[in-house]
Amino acid sequence: MSEEIQEINTLISSNDKFNKSSGYSSLLQFQQHSCVNASSLQFLAHSAQSIISSIVSDIVDDHDEEIATQALKCLGFMLYHPSIVSVLRVDDANLVLSTLPKLITTTKLKSACNLGVWCLSVQQLGATFLVIHFHYLLGAIVHALDNPMGSLSTTFEATQAVMKLSGQLSEQMKGSSHIWAPPIYRRLLSTDKRERDASERCLLKIRSTVIPPSLDLSKVPKHFCDFNIK
């Protein structure tokens, strides 16, 4: 099995498009298999550094849509699975978090933008990593909400990313609600029901995080009752 992951590494780091595409297809299959095979997952985690290095290189050079799409799908898995995230080096996590916002805000490829935001919506990285890149991540998410391509799927993934970051960095998201909330509010008036529903679900889910109940207000009923009793 270690030979298999080594071969995948060799293929995805190749300069030949056919080899690279074949390597990413094999990597995606290996990732799917690792969900039910602990040893496969272990080999994948041990190879995370070299795999992520190749992935980042390929998504930065997004002129080839097929390769960029394959690489981003594989990256999403790497960022989602706790066993892999837990062994990521600080440099690798920072590399990914600095690369994704650039990709999302500059790419002309709809699929790359969509999958880039999807990676942010599924990532399980720690708050210590995310807070360093927060403003860039937020800028990328807002760009995706109002994406110039008019992609509803990208807007949907962006609302998912808002919910994700709200759970991970509640204070930062609360303090920047004037930036990300208006694009979501506007979609409550969309003619597309799916877009309206996604925006409503997002706002309802993060309401308690972004607008927590006031302790003072929570005491009002008791004080009011006490006053009336007297």
Low-confidence ranges of the chain (pLDDT < 70): 1, 62, 210-230
Q: Are 49 and 64 in contact (CB under 8 A)?
A: no
pLDDT tens-digit series, residues 27-51: 999 999 888 888 888 888 889 889 9
Instruction: Give the pLDDT score at 214.
Output: 56
Cα→Cα distances 114→22, 118, 141, 179, Å: 22, 6, 11, 20
Instruction: Give the pLDDT score at 145.
Output: 95
Instruction: Give the pLDDT score at 152.
Output: 92
Instruction: Give the pLDDT score at 223.
Output: 45
d(CA 200, CA 64): 36
d(CA 1, CA 179): 47
d(CA 167, CA 126): 11
Phi, psi for residue 150 in degrees, rounded to 5:
70, 30
The pTM assigned to this predicted structure is 0.88
Instruction: Give the pLDDT score at 38.
Output: 84
Instruction: Give the pLDDT score at 62.
Output: 64
